[in-house]
């Protein structure tokens, strides 16, 4: 086998994750991105379950997809009902997708105690459903639900359910580790046995309840499974599904198989982050391959080794999956780690230069005070410009005042007044806000927009506060991280103080100054 089929269930199984709710527009956007990535199948929902999925299937046909087949998902016919009378099956056909996925019970316990029917009736439900959908011209994927649990409990019956689907014409038999409790060695052995028994294409669908969904999926492929089901970022019910963002590069870069076009692999990180944003689920920094920390290096010895040869502490080149290497700036990094950052400001300095030593000492002082620049590299870049005498301020703060009003009226409980000067011209503005930081942010923008209209493009996308020394109660220092974005990208800035408003103000100033500095550099480059 030189290739495998990528089957994405983000919009169906992934949508069952707690806190995830895709609108129709969300689903259509994700379909387009998955198609561009080169995904083979996109399981997009159950048209018989809700009006939203009905609308989606009515609209998705208008998309001009290049790679993916859209799959509608449903179950075998109900107990004791003819296929022609089953409304869910009629909804599947009405979705007008080229392929459908049908799940049926493969665990005898599920048949007798959950469906409350006979084992032979379940077999008829599977075969009649698959045969009916095949007669209507559909490609059929049969999801053998609870297959591995069923095989352990009653292997003969579990195999019979697969045979019922295969004999009725199913195109793929997908073995499901629905409870997510099977070990890779068992997945491999059982999958291999099934492959020897059937000529029908075999797929694998794993859940992550034992944190082995990726390993189990890869084990199944090594045993001969061809279709791999999963979700982007592993989102899904309970502990999630098999993470395609780990499976795809593992199979392609480590085993030499092809699931998506090789040239498309470099888009994997951007797709992972796009889906994360649309789903409103934070992409973990520690996510393999696509996470922010996947290729980050902080320890001095590690950084030195990576500078000599990245393979010393990286299992792949991050560019292969569209990610980037981060050399983190910290008190433990050492002078050599600073050089890449410093050279962006002054290429003449080396690790033994007095300015390099001065920056490192200043960094250690700031980190002792509670600053952590590995999460706020934009603030650190500004700091370098200032310490190395290369910074020209864009404005001067004269003063600001914040007043909190309680009780709040219509969600507004704070007002801020700010006075700034730009090239000798003063501007005094006020703004109300939902909290003091929001009011300060609005007042600062109003004051500066007259001088720098591009500030209107900046959006505050995240705001985090951490108490650093909680034993000091209300006198404790706090660290504020603010993430901002414009049309060119995003950046994170930091502020530390015993006053949460002051810490927020410092991070806000850095955010605006970084934006203005980057715009100035961009304009200089273009000219």
Longest dimension (CA), the chain: 87
Report yes or no on 421 lying in a domain.
no
Helix or strand or coil: residue 412?
A: strand
110 and 181 both lie in a single domain: yes
Domain of residue 318 covers 296-361
Taking CA atoms, 422 is separated from 17, 18, 396, 428, 513, in Å, by 50, 48, 6, 11, 13
Cβ-count burial of 412 within 10 angstroms (0-12 exposed, 13-18 middle, 19+ buried)? middle
What confidence score (pLDDT) does residue 348 get? 83
**Which two structure tokens, joined as six digits, stand for 154?**
């009653």
172 and 252 both lie in a single domain: yes
What confidence score (pLDDT) does residue 349 get? 78
Cα separation, 390 vs 441, in Å, equals 26
What confidence score (pLDDT) does residue 220 get? 98
302 and 271 both lie in a single domain: no
What confidence score (pLDDT) does residue 471 get? 61
For 352-387, what is each residue's pLDDT tens digit? 788 878 887 887 788 778 787 766 788 888 888 888
For 446-459, what is each residue's pLDDT tens digit? 999 989 999 888 88
Terminal CA-to-CA distance of the chain, rounded, Å? 53
For 304-353, what is each residue's pLDDT tens digit? 677 677 788 889 999 999 988 766 655 555 555 567 677 777 778 777 78
Report yes or no on 396 lying in a domain.
no
Calculate the CA 201 to chain-centre distance. 30
**Which two structure tokens, joined as six digits, stand for 323?**
């990610």
Taking CA atoms, 374 is separated from 156, 316, 350, 380, in Å, by 56, 22, 21, 9
115 and 223 both lie in a single domain: yes
For residues 457-467, give the mean pLDDT: 85
**Which two structure tokens, joined as six digits, stand for 394?**
């864009």
| 469 pLDDT tier (thresholds 50, 70, 90) | low
Instruction: Among 361, 380, 409, identify where a domain stops.
Output: 361
Write out the DSSP string of 70-110.
Answer: EEEEEEPPPTT--GGG-HHHHHHHHTT-SEEEEEEE-SHHI
What confidence score (pLDDT) does residue 340 get? 67
Statement: residue 461 has pLDDT above 60: yes
What confidence score (pLDDT) does residue 489 get? 79
Report yes or no on 411 lying in a domain.
no
| 280 pLDDT tier (thresholds 50, 70, 90) | confident
Residue found under tokens 């599920």: 110
The reply to whether the predicted model has a pTM over 0.85 is no
Question: For the domain that residue 247 is a member of, what is the CATH number?
Answer: 3.20.20.70
208 and 322 both lie in a single domain: no
**Which two structure tokens, joined as six digits, stand for 356?**
């390099």
The residues, any chain, with a CB within 8 Å of residue 33's CB and separated by 6 or more, are 271, 274, 275
360-380 core/surface letters (b: 16 or more CB in 10 A; e: else): beebeebbeebbbbbbbbbbb
**Of 497, 508, 379, 486, nearest in space to 439 by CA:** 508
What confidence score (pLDDT) does residue 335 get? 56
192 and 236 both lie in a single domain: yes
**Which two structure tokens, joined as six digits, stand for 504?**
């927020």
The residues, any chain, with a CB within 8 Å of residue 497's CB and separated by 6 or more, are 477, 478, 503, 506
134 and 180 both lie in a single domain: yes
Question: For the domain that residue 468 is a member of, what is the CATH number?
Answer: 3.30.160.340
CA angle 85, 91, 97 (to 5 degrees): 130
Report yes or no on 221 lying in a domain.
yes
274 and 326 both lie in a single domain: no
Calculate the CA 155 to chain-centre distance. 37
CB 517 within 8 A of CB 490: no
203 and 231 both lie in a single domain: yes
What confidence score (pLDDT) does residue 179 get? 96
Cβ-count burial of 423 within 10 angstroms (0-12 exposed, 13-18 middle, 19+ buried)? exposed
Report yes or no on 118 lying in a domain.
yes
Report yes or no on 188 lying in a domain.
yes
Cβ-count burial of 298 within 10 angstroms (0-12 exposed, 13-18 middle, 19+ buried)? middle
Domain count, the chain: 3
CB 19 within 8 A of CB 274: no
266 and 310 both lie in a single domain: no
Report yes or no on 157 lying in a domain.
yes
Q: What ranges in 200-324 are assigned the alpha helix state H?
A: 213-223, 244-249, 268-279, 300-308
For 118-161, what is each residue's pLDDT tens digit? 999 999 999 999 999 999 999 999 999 999 999 999 999 999 99
275 and 318 both lie in a single domain: no
For 389-414, what is each residue's pLDDT tens digit? 888 889 998 999 999 988 877 778 89
145 and 198 both lie in a single domain: yes
């Amino acid at each position: 086998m030189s290739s495998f089929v990528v089957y994405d269930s983000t919009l169906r199984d992934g949508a069952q994750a707690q806190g995830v709710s895709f609108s129709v527009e969300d689903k259509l956007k994700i379909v387009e991105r998955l198609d561009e990535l080169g995904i083979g199948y996109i399981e997009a929902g159950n048209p018989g379950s809700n009006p939203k999925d009905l609308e989606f299937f009515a609209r998705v046909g208008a998309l001009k997809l290049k790679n993916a087949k859209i799959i509608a998902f449903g179950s075998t016919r109900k107990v004791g009902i003819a296929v022609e009378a089953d409304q869910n099956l009629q909804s599947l056909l009405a979705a007008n997708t080229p392929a459908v996925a049908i799940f049926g019970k493969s665990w005898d316990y599920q048949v007798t105690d959950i469906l409350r029917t006979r084992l032979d009736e379940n077999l008829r439900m599977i075969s009649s459903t698959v045969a009916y959908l095949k007669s209507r011209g559909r490609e059929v994927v049969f999801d053998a639900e609870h297959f591995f649990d069923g095989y352990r409990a009653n292997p003969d019956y579990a195999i019979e359910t697969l045979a019922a689907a295969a004999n009725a014409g199913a195109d793929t038999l997908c073995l499901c580790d629905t409870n997510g409790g099977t070990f890779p060695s068992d997945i491999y052995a059982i999958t291999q046995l099934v492959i020897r028994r059937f000529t029908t294409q075999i797929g694998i669908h794993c859940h992550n309840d034992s944190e082995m969904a990726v390993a189990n999926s890869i084990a199944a492929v090594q045993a001969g499974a061809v279709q791999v089901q999963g979700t982007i970022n592993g989102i899904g019910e309970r502990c999630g599904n098999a993470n395609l963002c780990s499976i795809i590069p593992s199979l392609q870069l480590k085993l030499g198989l092809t699931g998506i076009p090789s040239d498309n692999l470099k888009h994997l990180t951007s797709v992972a982050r796009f889906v994360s944003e649309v789903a409103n689920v934070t992409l973990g920094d520690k996510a393999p391959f696509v996470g922010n920390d996947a290729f980050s290096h902080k320890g001095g010895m590690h950084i030195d080794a990576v500078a000599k040869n990245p393979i010393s502490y990286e299992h792949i080149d991050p560019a292969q999956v569209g990610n980037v290497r981060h050399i983190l700036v910290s008190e433990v990094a050492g002078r050599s780690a600073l050089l890449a950052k410093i050279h962006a400001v002054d290429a003449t300095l080396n690790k033994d230069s007095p300015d390099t030593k001065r920056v490192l000492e200043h960094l250690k002082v700031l980190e002792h005070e509670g600053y952590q620049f590995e999460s706020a590299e934009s603030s650190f870049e500004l700091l370098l410009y200032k310490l190395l005498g290369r910074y020209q301020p864009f404005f001067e703060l004269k003063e600001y005042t914040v007043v909190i009003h309680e009780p709040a009226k219509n969600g507004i409980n704070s007002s801020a007044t700010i006075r700034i000067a730009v090239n000798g011209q003063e501007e005094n503005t006020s703004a109300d806000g939902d909290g003091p930081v929001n009011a300060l942010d609005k007042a600062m923008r109003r004051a500066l927009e007259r001088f720098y209209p591009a500030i209107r493009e900046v959006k505050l996308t995240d705001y985090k506060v951490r108490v650093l020394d909680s034993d000091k109660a209300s006198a404790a220092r706090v660290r504020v991280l603010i993430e901002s974005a414009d049309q060119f990208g995003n950046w994170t800035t930091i502020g530390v103080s015993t006053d949460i408003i002051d810490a927020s103000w410092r991070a806000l100033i850095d955010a605006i100054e970084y934006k203005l500095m980057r715009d100035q550099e961009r304009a200089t480059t273009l000219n």
